[in-house]
Amino acid sequence: MLLVAGLGNPGVEYARNRHNVGFMAADAVAGRFGFPAWRAKFSGALAEGRIGGEKVILLKPQTYMNESGRAVAKAVNFYKLQPEDVLVLHDEIDLDAGKVRLKEGGGLAGHNGLKDIKAHMGADFRRLRFGVGHPGDQDLVTGHVLNDFSASDRQWLDPLLAAVADNFELLVMGRDQDFMSALAVAAPPPSGGE
């Protein structure tokens, strides 16, 4: 069983924010694999289904980003999972826009959603990090991640989300390198980043 937690903030005003790319990715996976409608559970929106024969629980915490760990921990405890059974989908300002990286454990790069998850269950969970670029000044970071993706961003974001969903079964099966190779072919990042 795999718990996939897409991070973001609830509410239509945040729906297209860079900070909500985790929600967007979870929605893309749910749509690609025909998961049933999202329902309220664990202080989040939850959808369950099967991918590649494995049970997958998709969770979008509805606690706001800074308290994401509360919802994730409730699901982990309910299903009796270990941190290594959790994959978190989130934005990453330290990656150029359009780049994606997989990581397990390690530093949290100041991401408040990840910090809260670590506080509830440790840092030994897997992460799929979606690069949204850095605004160049630390004082501008909050505004950057809480602003919507631009129209030009959608040119790389939409194909990337589709490629993540199309190849997600590889992640579920633990074929991380094959997943990353498939993404590089299907949705290469914009040249030079942004």
Residues carrying an active site annotation? 19
CB of 2 within 8 A of CB of 56? yes
With CA atoms as reference, report the closest residue to 95 among 43, 146, 134, 68: 134
For residue 51, give the 3-state DSSP assignment: strand
CB of 31 within 8 A of CB of 19? no
Q: Which residue has the tokens 């602003």?
A: 147
The Cβ of residue 67 has, within 10 Å, a number of other Cβ atoms equal to: 18
With CA atoms as reference, report the closest residue to 116 among 60, 57, 72, 77: 72
Pairing type for strands 54-61 and 100-104 reads unpaired
Q: Which residues contact 115 (CB under 8 A, 6 or more apart)?
A: 108
- Report the amino acid identity of residue 92: E
